[in-house]
Structure formats: structure tokens, C-alpha cells
């Protein structure tokens, strides 16, 4: 167990062996890694623990650089545990390099079926008992998908929690994957409108890039196919506070003069690849729609729900946009089957992803009856017109969880926890404590 220091903090590495399938505790085991962070000089104090669950799915925990970001506020009161959720970061990996060892796509999908929020919560409970003892309780901070996990935690194991803070992560309790994406496209369209109102010259810039990609075979530096549809998916960044500006600067550098006409610059392609590649977080793509699967909502598979919903919104069709005079609309947090044919990090996982898409009978993740009698203090930041999580669903869920207090704000976008320097977390702490 390594212990080291960073500016203002003492950091301790932890590794835990947990069952792959918690229903079979004597079966195969995997490892889950977590990083403990405490303020320097306070490492010997009996501070309460704060567990952080990252967004995603498939995102590793933040890599702190000392006392920075929201940790600045958290470390005033807590000993923080940054969890690499199963399959991510330093936990037992699940990616194109490791999953083929499990067998064919069917075997891989069976393995990955154990990587949803219910398994993550049960991992957390084993870790809690090991670190705090059977009677110990800790606080929970869930960002985005981590907030989804927090609702699962409140449903399955509320006795392990003393309080919960949720940022941009109140899901619809009875919302199917199809519902999620049908409500998402209008929000994404609004973000496009805001972007093009801010940067009207980007309308023609984006059309030029999309037209070039339709007329030429273009590959990214990693060998992945760069299509017009892949270009549209850069709109994922529009839901963050600085995403629109980042997209604008990316488009600014798109073209250089070539011997036979304009060509997409190496710098543009490299930066686009950084936004598009799933090499660092393949589970985000593989598991993205399965996080909405609940048999009591829909016993059927999620079935590439984003792709099906896309067909209901023809304004996002790139060819129709290019045939007319309108803007090419960027898409948002949608995963499509074609990503598993164009991204080298995903190509080997196509069969597993297809099988997960048709998998039926996903266990329920939320218990509305338990949430209605909740006794754990909960506060949630709900971002007005959040591009990634439907605000109406979030507010309906807030009303369904007994005692949950909300802070609805348009001061921040979905990444408010990360960019606010601790202000978002501070407000939620004060809400839970009754100071507001």
C-alpha cells in the first residue's frame, strides 16, 4: 500500500478484491483500486470518509494534483476516497486488449453485464466495511453517472450512507433508454443553436468540414475512420461550460491549403481524435445504453436506442443539411453502432456491444418504494437545461426521494463540480446541513 505526498495532501493507494458477480461471492474475483486523499497534517485525525463516484460510465476517478478543484473544499471536512470503478483506471481493466482473453463476444458480454451501477454499489459496500467496519457509514459524492450510482446506493444499501451529494446526476427512475434519447435530441439542438448564435461563422466552417468528409476518405492519426457522422459527434463537448469555445477553436484550425485544394490539417485531426477516440474509456461506449436497462421499465433490450431516436429527428441528418442551406447539427452523448466499425479501440468489441444491446431483463437499479421512505440526507445540483441529463427527469426524481433538496442553477453546465473550485460542493454540503 503506497503512501505519497502531493502539494497539501497525503495520498494512499488501496486495492480490494471483490467478486465479479456479487450473487456468487465464491466465484471469480476482480480487483478494484481506490486512492485515499487527506489534507496534509490531518492524516492521523478520525475524519469522516467521502466516497467519490465519477461520471461515465467507464470513467476512471480524477487524478489529483494536490489540493485542487473540488478537493479543496472536500478536504476541509473529509478523508476522500477516489474510486476507479470496476473495469476502469487501475482496477482490473476491461478493454480491447483484455476482453478477448475471455472468449467470443457472447462471453465478453456476459462478463460486462456485471459492470453496471448495482455491481459498483456492491463493490463500494465491501470496501466500506473493510475501511470503516460493519457499522461505519460514509458520505457519497456522485457526479453525472456517479449520481445514478448514488440513487442505486440509496435504493440497495442506504444504511451504508450518512449523507449524499449529487451533481448533474439525477436519472429518471422509470425512464427507458429510448425515452432518454428522444428527450436528448431537442436539448442538443438547443445547444447547437446557442453555439451558432455565438459563433455564426461556424455554420459555414462546419458545413465545409462535413462536405469534405463526405467527398474524401479521411483517417485519424490512430487509423480510425473520420466520417461526417463522427465529426457531428464532436458535439458531445457542447454540454460543458467551455465546450462551445473549444469547438469553435477546433473549427478555426480545420483546413490548410494543399497541392490539390484544401486539406484537413494534422493539428485538427489530432485534436479531433482526442475528442473522438474511446481508447481511454471504452466502457463508456460499450455500456452506455445498458445503464438505463431495468426490467420493470422495459424487459426488452436497449437496442441501440440513440440510433433509433436519431432517425426521428431528420434535422440531424448531415446529407439533408448539406443539400440545403441550414447548419450541420452536432450530436451529443449518443453512442452509435458505426462507432464500433470506425474506432480502433472499439472494433474488437463490436460483437459484445451488439449482444449487450439486445440483452433482455436487466435487473432494476432503483427502488422507488425505498427512495420514497429515504432517511439519508441528500442534496443535488440540477443544471438548468443540462445537455446530458434531462432536467424534467431530474426534478421528478428529486420529488420521488424523501428529503432530497435541490439546487437548480444555470450558473454552471454539467461540469460545474469540476470547474467551480469547490463552490458547487460547498453549496450542497450547506444544504444537507440545513445552513441554506
The β-bridge relationship of strands 29-39 and 79-84 is antiparallel
Domains of the chain: 3-173+366-432 (3.40.50.1820), 177-358 (no CATH)
Query: What does the alpha-carbon distance between residue 277 and residue 268 come to, in Å, rounded to a whole number?
Result: 14
82 strand-pairing partners:
35, 52
139 strand-pairing partners:
50, 163
Query: What does the alpha-carbon distance between residue 18 and residue 130 come to, in Å, rounded to a whole number?
Result: 11
Q: Which of 109, 144, 290, 420 is catalytic?
A: 144
State the residue for C-alpha cell 449487450: 356
Rg (CA), the chain: 22
Q: Is the dihedral of CA 146, 148, 153, 156 positive or negative?
A: negative
Taking alpha carbons only, the member of 288, 308, 297 closest to residue 356 is 288
- Concerning whether 265 is annotated as a catalytic residue, the answer is no
- Concerning whether 144 is annotated as a catalytic residue, the answer is yes
Rounded (10°) CA dihedral 393, 398, 399, 403? 170
Specify the pLDDT at position 316.
97
- Concerning whether 367 is annotated as a catalytic residue, the answer is no
Rounded to two decimals, the pTM is 0.96
Q: Which of 179, 386, 393, 426 is catalytic?
A: 386
Burial 192-208 (b: 16+ CB within 10 A, else e): beebbeebeebbebbbb
- Output the CA–CA distances (angstroms, integers) from residue 22 to 3, 119, 122, 153, in the order listed: 30, 7, 7, 15
Tens-digit pLDDT profile for the chain (436 aa)? 799 999 999 999 999 999 999 999 999 999 999 999 999 999 999 999 999 999 999 999 999 999 999 999 999 999 999 999 999 999 999 999 999 999 999 999 999 999 999 999 999 999 999 999 999 999 999 999 999 999 999 999 999 999 999 999 999 999 999 999 999 999 999 999 999 999 999 999 999 999 999 999 999 999 999 999 999 999 999 999 999 999 999 999 999 998 888 999 999 999 999 999 999 999 999 999 999 999 999 989 999 999 999 999 999 999 999 999 889 999 999 999 999 999 999 999 999 999 999 999 999 999 999 999 999 999 999 999 999 999 999 999 999 999 999 999 999 999 999 999 999 999 999 999 999 8
CB 197 within 8 A of CB 173: no
Q: Which of 119, 414, 420, 426 is catalytic?
A: 414
Query: What does the alpha-carbon distance between residue 131 and residue 121 come to, in Å, rounded to a whole number?
Result: 15
Q: Is 164 left (phi over 0), alpha (psi -120 to 50) or beta?
A: beta
Amino acid at each position: 500500500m503506497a503512501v505519497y505526498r502531493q502539494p497539501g495532501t497525503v495520498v494512499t493507494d488501496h486495492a480490494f478484491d471483490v467478486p465479479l458477480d456479487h450473487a456468487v461471492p465464491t466465484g471469480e474475483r476482480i480487483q478494484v483500486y481506490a486512492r485515499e486523499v487527506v489534507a496534509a497534517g490531518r492524516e492521523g485525525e478520525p475524519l469522516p470518509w467521502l466516497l467519490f463516484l465519477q461520471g461515465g460510465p467507464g470513467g476512471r476517478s480524477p487524478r489529483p494534483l494536490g489540493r485542487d478543484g473540488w478537493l479543496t473544499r472536500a478536504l476541509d471536512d473529509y478523508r476522500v476516497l477516489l474510486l476507479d470503478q470496476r473495469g476502469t483506471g487501475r482496477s482490473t481493466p476491461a478493454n480491447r486488449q483484455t476482453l478477448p482473453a475471455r472468449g467470443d463476444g457472447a462471453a465478453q458480454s456476459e462478463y460486462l453485464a456485471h459492470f453496471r451501477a448495482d455491481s459498483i454499489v456492491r463493490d463500494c459496500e465491501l470496501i466500506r466495511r473493510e475501511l470503516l467496519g460493519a457499522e461505519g457509514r460514509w458520505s457519497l459524492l456522485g457526479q453525472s453517472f456517479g449520481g445514478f450510482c448514488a440513487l442505486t446506493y440509496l435504493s440497495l444499501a442506504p444504511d451504508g450512507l450518512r449523507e449524499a451529494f449529487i451533481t448533474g446526476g439525477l436519472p429518471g427512475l422509470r425512464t427507458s433508454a429510448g425515452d432518454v434519447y428522444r428527450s436528448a435530441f431537442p436539448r442538443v439542438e438547443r445547444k447547437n443553436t446557442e453555439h451558432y448564435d455565438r459563433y455564426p461563422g461556424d455554420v459555414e466552417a462546419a458545413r465545409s468540414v462535413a462536405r469534405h468528409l463526405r467527398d474524401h476518405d479521411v483517417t485519424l492519426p490512430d487509423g480510425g475512420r473520420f466520417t461526417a457522422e463522427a465529426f457531428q459527434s464532436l458535439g458531445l463537448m457542447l454540454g460543458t461550460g467551455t465546450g462551445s469555445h473549444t469547438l469553435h477553436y477546433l473549427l478555426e484550425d480545420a483546413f490548410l491549403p494543399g497541392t490539390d485544394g484544401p486539406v484537413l490539417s494534422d493539428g485538427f485531426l489530432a485534436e479531433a481524435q482526442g475528442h473522438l477516440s474511446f481508447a481511454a474509456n471504452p466502457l463508456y461506449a460499450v455500456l452506455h445504453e445498458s445503464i438505463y436497462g431495468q426490467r420493470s421499465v422495459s424487459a426488452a433490450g436497449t437496442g441501440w436506442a440513440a440510433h433509433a431516436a436519431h432517425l426521428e429527428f431528420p434535422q440531424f441528418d448531415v446529407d439533408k443539411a448539406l443539400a440545403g442551406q441550414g447548419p450541420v447539427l452536432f450530436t451529443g452523448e449518443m453512442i452509435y453502432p458505426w462507432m464500433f466499425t470506425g474506432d480502433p479501440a472499439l472494433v474488437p468489441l463490436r460483437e459484445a456491444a451488439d449482444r449487450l444491446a439486445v440483452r433482455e431483463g436487466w435487473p432494476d437499479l432503483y427502488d422507488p418504494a425505498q427512495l420514497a421512505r429515504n432517511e439519508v440526507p441528500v442534496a443535488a445540483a440540477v443544471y438548468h437545461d443540462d445537455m446530458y441529463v434531462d432536467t424534467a427527469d431530474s426534478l421528478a426524481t428529486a420529488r420521488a426521494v424523501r428529503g432530497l433538496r435541490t439546487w437548480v442553477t444555470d450558473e454552471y453546465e454539467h461540469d460545474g463540480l469540476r470547474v467551480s473550485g469547490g463552490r458547487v460542493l460547498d453549496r450542497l454540503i450547506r444544504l444537507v446541513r440545513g445552513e441554506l
